């Protein structure tokens, strides 16, 4: 397939919305990561997404909408907690899950009776959805199990020749995917993101956090979100996380660095801003400020992609898993396959 590319200044909306209405696939920027969009009301078009990504088809998709009215036809009803959250956080990086209406095809939800919906904040995404006139089913626009794409180049690398078009909207602001909150029973965070537990609690009161957010799924565990079952965000390199105080963690990293290097492995350190002095003289990149984890979220996937194929091993520190640190540690732990020392 010959993939079309559009830059943000061109008049791409008519062509791209035609592609969507005709059942094709368009990758587009959002404020979180790039999405791979298809007409979310067309089961065949949605099947194309699974094929292009190599995504297991029991992993459901998020429907992206451009106005609140679109939501009313996708859910059976709209609970009051959802209305409050929508007023507070939409458009933005929050996905809400509730009981689906008959209008939503099973291909989107992997035959679950619930559907995930989000209104992205990115202007290009909103324009594309509005002009197409349908909700866009869109997972992250990467080959399944690889780090999510946060730039046009990442999407091009994974999807060139597999999809109809890619819109270049530059670098994504958040760099990690939306917070996923289920409202089916007690509000539960299935995937943490830039909208933090305390931000949600300030609007609707207590929210639970699914145990799989920071630990591997136990074999006997009920799978709240099928996406939690799968290997995720994995670069080619082995990723190892060192825990403890910054001093302890950086000492562990230096020891591992020596061990791995002497066994012939090529290693790089992803350092926090404050730990940088500990690693003087070693191959090292700064991932962000651990006091402001949102800066680390913004760089994680792109650094994993950039260095994951050049090195055998990436060594990095754990940070506190509160607020935006929860989203960061969730992605880092999965990228490492929960390899934490």
Query: In this structure, are residues 141 and 29 in contact, taking their beta carbons and an 8 Å threshold?
Result: no
d(CA 99, CA 120): 20
d(CA 210, CA 119): 23
Q: Does 112 bind ligand TXA (CB under 6 A)?
A: yes
Each residue 188-217 as x (binds ligand TXA by CB under 6 A) or -, in order, gives: --xx--------------------------
Q: Which residues inside 81-100 make contact with ligand TXA, applying CB under 6 A? A: 93, 95, 97
d(CA 65, CA 201): 24
Query: In this structure, are residues 172 and 191 in contact, taking their beta carbons and an 8 Å threshold?
Result: no
d(CA 324, CA 265): 32
Going by the DSSP 8-state scheme, the letter that residue 97 receives in this structure is E
CB of 134 to ligand TXA, least distance (A): 16
Which backbone phi and psi does 245 adopt, to 5 degrees? Answer: -65, 160
Whose structure tokens read 């732990």?
A: 333
Q: Which residues inside 126-145 make contact with Mg ion, applying CB under 5 A? A: 140
- Closest CB to ligand TXA belongs to which residue? 227
d(CA 182, CA 222): 14
Q: How far apart are the first and last CA of the chain?
A: 45
User: Which range in 57-65, 73-81, 213-221, 304-312 contacts ligand TXA by CB under 6 A?
Assistant: 57-65
Helices (H) and strands (E) in the chain, counts: 11, 15
Q: Does 180 bind ligand TXA (CB under 6 A)?
A: yes
- Closest CB to Mg ion belongs to which residue? 140
In the list 16, 20, 62, 167, the residue contacting ligand TXA (rule: CB under 6 A) is 62
Nearer to ligand TXA, 182 or 290 (CB): 182
Nearer to Mg ion, 140 or 330 (CB): 140
Tell me if residue 25 falls in helix, strand or coil.
coil
Each residue 13-52 as x (binds ligand TXA by CB under 6 A) or -, in order, gives: -----------------x-xx-x-----------------
Nearer to Mg ion, 30 or 39 (CB): 30
In the list 138, 237, 296, 304, the residue contacting ligand TXA (rule: CB under 6 A) is 138
The item of ligand TXA, Mg ion, none sharing an interface with residue 195, based on CB under 5 to 8 Å by kind, is none
Q: Does 122 bind ligand TXA (CB under 6 A)?
A: no
User: Which range in 137-145, 239-247, 249-257, 289-297 contacts ligand TXA by CB under 6 A?
Assistant: 137-145
Q: Does 145 bind ligand TXA (CB under 6 A)?
A: no
Give me the residues paired with residue 148 across strands: none
Tell me if residue 305 falls in helix, strand or coil.
helix
d(CA 244, CA 261): 23
The item of Mg ion, ligand TXA, none sharing an interface with residue 108, based on CB under 5 to 8 Å by kind, is none
Helices (H), the chain: 13-21, 43-53, 68-72, 80-89, 106-109, 123-132, 152-159, 197-204, 246-262, 294-308, 324-335
Binding site for ligand TXA (CB under 6 A): 30, 32-33, 35, 59-62, 93, 95, 97, 109, 112, 114-116, 118, 120, 138-140, 177-178, 180, 190-191, 225-227
Binding site for Mg ion (CB under 5 A): 140
């Amino acid at each position: 397939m010959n993939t079309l590319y559009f830059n943000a200044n061109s008049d791409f909306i008519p062509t791209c919305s035609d592609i969507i209405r005709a059942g094709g696939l368009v990758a587009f920027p959002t404020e979180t990561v790039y999405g791979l969009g298809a007409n979310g009301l067309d089961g065949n078009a949605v099947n194309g997404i699974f094929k292009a990504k190599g995504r297991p088809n029991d992993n459901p998709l998020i429907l992206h909408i451009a106005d609140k009215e679109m939501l009313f036809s996708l859910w059976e009803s709209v609970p009051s907690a959802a209305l409050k959250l929508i007023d507070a956080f939409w458009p933005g990086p929050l996905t809400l899950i509730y009981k689906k209406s008959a209008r939503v095809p099973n291909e989107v939800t992997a035959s679950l009776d619930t559907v995930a919906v989000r209104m992205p904040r990115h202007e290009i995404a909103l324009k594309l959805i509005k002009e197409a006139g349908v909700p866009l089913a869109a997972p992250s626009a990467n080959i399944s199990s690889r780090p999510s794409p946060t730039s046009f180049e990442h999407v091009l690398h994974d999807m060139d020749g597999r999809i109809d078009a890619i819109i270049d909207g530059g670098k994504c602001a958040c760099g990690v995917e939306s917070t996923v909150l289920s409202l089916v029973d007690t509000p539960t965070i299935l995937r943490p993101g830039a909208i933090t537990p305390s931000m949600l609690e300030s609007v609707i009161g207590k929210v639970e956090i699914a145990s799989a957010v920071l630990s591997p799924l136990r074999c006997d565990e009920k799978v709240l979100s099928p996406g939690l079952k799968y290997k995720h965000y994995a670069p080619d390199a082995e990723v190892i996380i060192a825990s403890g105080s910054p001093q302890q963690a950086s000492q562990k990293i230096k020891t591992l660095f020596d061990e791995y290097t002497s066994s012939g492995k090529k290693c790089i350190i992803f350092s926090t801003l404050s730990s940088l002095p500990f690693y003087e003289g070693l191959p090292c990149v700064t991932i962000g400020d651990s006091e402001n984890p949102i800066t680390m979220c913004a760089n994680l996937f792109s650094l994993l992609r950039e260095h994951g194929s050049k090195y055998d091993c990436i060594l990095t520190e754990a940070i506190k898993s509160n607020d935006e640190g929860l989203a960061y540690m969730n992605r880092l732990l999965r990228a490492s396959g929960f390899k934490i020392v």
